[in-house]
Chain A
Amino acid sequence: MYSTIQDFGRFGYQKYGVPCSGVMDRKAASFANAILGNNNELPVLEMTMLGPKLQFDCNTIICISGADMSPKLNNTFILNNKPISVKKGDVLSFGKLNNGVRSYLAVSGGFSTEKVMESYSMYAGITNQSKIEKNDILEVSIKSELFENQHASIKMNTDYFNSKGIEVFKGSEFGTLSESQKELLFNQDFTISKDNNRMAYQLNEPLENSLEPIITSLVLPGTVQLTPSGKLIILMRDCQTTGGYPRVLQLKESSINVLSQKFTGQMVSFCLDMI
Chain B
Amino acid sequence: MGYQLTFKRFGEHSILVEWPPAIDESILNDVLSFKSKIEYFLQEESIQVNHAYNSLLVGYDSLEIDFTDKIETIKKVYRKNTDNGKQVFRLWKIPVCYDVDFGIDIVALASSKKLSVQEIIKLHSQSVYMVYFIGFLPGFLYLGGLDDLLHTPRKATPRLRIEKGAVAIGGGQTGVYPNESPGGWNVIGNSPIDFFNIKNESPSFASAGDRIQFYPVSKKEHLNIKTLVEAGVFQIESEVIRD
Chain B stretch 103-152: residues in CB contact (< 8 A) with chain A: 133-140, 142
- Chain A residues within an 8 Å CB radius of B139: 16-17
Choose among B61, B134, B198 the residue that contacts A17 (Cβ–Cβ < 8 A). Answer: B134
Cβ of A241 within 8 Å of any chain B Cβ, yes or no, is yes
B50 near A215: Cβ-Cβ < 8 Å: no
Return the chain B residue nearest A11 by Cβ.
B61
In chain A between 13 and 35, which residues have their CB closer than 8 angstroms to a CB of chain B? 14-19
Chain A residues within 8 Å of B52, by CB: 215-218, 242
- Size class of the contact patch on chain A: 20 to 34
Tell me whether B138 and A217 are in contact (CB under 8 A): no
A220 to B135, alpha carbons, bound, how many Å? 12
The segment from B16-24, B72-80, B92-100, B155-163 that touches chain A is B16-24
Q: A215-B23, A217-B52 are in contact. Are A240 and B137 (CB under 8 A)?
A: yes
> What's the Cα separation between A87 and B59 when bound, in Å?
43
Give the chain A neighbours of B23 by CB distance below 8 A.
215
Note all chain B residues with C-beta closer than 8 A to A117: 198
A14 to B14, CA, bound (A): 13
**Contact A126 to B198, CB < 8 A, known contacts A172-B10, A252-B12:** yes
Q: How far is the CB of B226 from chain A (nearest CB, A)?
A: 18
How many residues on B have C-beta within 8 angstroms of the other chain's C-beta atoms?
Answer: 40
**Which residue, of A12, A214, A217, has the highest number of chain B Cβ atoms within 10 A?**
A217
B27-65 vs A: 1/0 string, CB under 8 Å?
000000000000000000000111111111101010100
Asked if B179 is an interface residue, CB under 8 A from chain A, the answer is yes
> A40 CB to closest chain B CB, in angstroms?
13
Q: Which of A79-106 contact B (CB under 8 A)?
A: none
In the bound complex, how far is the Cα of B48 from the Cα of A241, in angstroms? 13
Contact B61 A217 (CB under 8 A): no
Find chain A residues with CB under 8 A from B204 CB: 16-17
Complex CA distance for A252 and B138, rounded to whole angstroms: 26
B residues neighboring A (CB under 8 Å): 8-14, 16, 18, 21-23, 48-57, 59, 61, 63, 133-140, 142, 179, 196, 198, 202-204
Q: Which residues of A contact B (CB under 8 A)?
A: 11-12, 14-19, 116-117, 125-126, 169, 172, 214-218, 220, 222-223, 240-242, 250-253, 275
Can you list 8 contacts pairing A with B, beta carbon distance less than 8 Å?
Answer: A16-B202, A116-B198, A125-B137, A125-B196, A216-B52, A216-B142, A220-B59, A252-B11
